[in-house]
Amino acid sequence: MNQIKVFKHPILNKLSRTNPLVAISVYCLISLGIVIYGFAVSALLLINIVALFVAGLLLFSLVEYAIHRFMYHSGENYRDEKNWQYKVHGVHHAVPNEKDLLALPIPLALLVSGLLFILFYLPMGQHALFFFPGFLSGYAAYLFVHYKVHTSKPPKNAFSYLWKHHLIHHYSDDERAYGVSSPLWDIIFGTMPKRKSAKKKTH
Residue 199: pLDDT over 50: no
Measured CA to CA, the distance from residue 137 to residue 23 in angstroms comes to 11
Which tens digits make up the pLDDT trace of 64-86? 999 999 999 886 678 787 777 87
Q: What average pLDDT does the structure give for the chain?
A: 89
Which pLDDT score is estimated for 196? 61
SS3 string, the chain, reads CCCCCCCCCHHHHHHCCCCHHHHHHHHHHHHHHHHHHHHHHCCCCHHHHHHHHHHHHHHHHHHHHHHHHHHHCCCCCCCCCCCHHHHHHHHHHHCCCCHHHCCCCHHHHHHHHHHHHHHHHHHHHHHHHHHHHHHHHHHHHHHHHHHHHHHCCCCCCCCHHHHHHHHHHHHCCCCCCCCCCCCHHHHHHCCCCCHHHHHCCCC
Least confident of 6-15, 86-95, 141-150, 164-173: 6-15
pLDDT category of residue 91 using cuts at 50, 70 and 90? confident
Which pLDDT score is estimated for 84? 73
pLDDT category of residue 201 using cuts at 50, 70 and 90? very low
Residue 146: pLDDT over 80: yes
Measured CA to CA, the distance from residue 179 to residue 61 in angstroms comes to 8
Which pLDDT score is estimated for 197? 44
Q: Which residues, in sequence order, are CB contacts of 88 under 8 Å at separation 6+?
A: 72
Which pLDDT score is estimated for 4? 67
Which pLDDT score is estimated for 87? 75
pTM for the predicted model, two decimal places: 0.89
pLDDT category of residue 119 using cuts at 50, 70 and 90? very high
Which position has the higher pLDDT, 122 or 88? 122
Which pLDDT score is estimated for 198? 44
Measured CA to CA, the distance from residue 148 to residue 153 in angstroms comes to 8
Which pLDDT score is estimated for 92? 86
The type of residue at 47 is I
Measured CA to CA, the distance from residue 66 to residue 60 in angstroms comes to 10
Mean pLDDT value across residues 56-70: 97
